[in-house]
């Protein structure tokens, strides 16, 4: 076996290994698309919150539904298993209140941190059936 044959076999092996690693990485990325249900702390105890999300490449769109109604998300981004977006709600005095969500997506849940309002809040949303 000559040096050229050895080089070609090594190159083929390395390319095949690289292809398998790429496929594994893509397959392991969690998908935020779907309906996710959780609870958020409120004045009268925990309140239900539902996220309806659609991921397309690095863009995230969707809505959040609470007892106060449904609001669209804005500035939605996807970066691997991390998502982020904002929600603008009306404060009691009518002024807009911007909330920022950052979440880590796994196969069956999203662990959110919400900033704004009364400080950081952690919310775990489970994949809804």
Condensed to tens digits (0 to 9), the pLDDT of residues 69-124 reads 999 999 999 999 999 999 998 888 888 999 999 999 999 999 999 998 778 999 99
CATH architecture, domain defined by 34-127 = Beta Barrel (2.40)
Per-residue confidence (pLDDT) for residue 65, from 0 to 100 = 96
pTM: 0.75
Q: What is the pLDDT of residues 29-76, one digit of tens each?
A: 579 999 999 999 888 899 999 999 999 999 999 999 998 899 999 999
Going from N- to C-terminal start, the domains of the chain cover 1-29, 34-127
Per-residue confidence (pLDDT) for residue 20, from 0 to 100 = 61
Q: Tell me whether residue 87 is exposed, middle or buried, using C-beta atoms within 10 angstroms of its C-beta: 0 to 12, 13 to 18, 19 or more.
A: buried
Judge whether 85 and 103 are in contact, CB under 8 Å: no
């Amino acid at each position: 076996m000559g040096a050229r044959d050895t080089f070609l076999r090594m190159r083929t092996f390395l390319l095949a290994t690289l292809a398998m690693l790429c496929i594994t990485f893509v397959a392991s990325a969690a998908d935020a698309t779907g309906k996710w249900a959780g609870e958020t702390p409120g004045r009268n105890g925990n309140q239900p919150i539902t996220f309806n999300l659609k991921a397309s490449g690095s863009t995230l769109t969707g809505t959040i539904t609470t007892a106060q109604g449904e609001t669209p998300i804005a500035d939605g981004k996807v970066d691997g298993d991390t998502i982020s977006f904002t929600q603008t709600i009306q404060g009691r005095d009518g002024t807009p209140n911007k909330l920022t969500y950052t979440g880590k997506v796994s196969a069956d849940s999203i662990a959110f941190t919400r900033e704004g309002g009364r400080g950081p809040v952690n919310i775990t949303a489970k994949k809804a059936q």
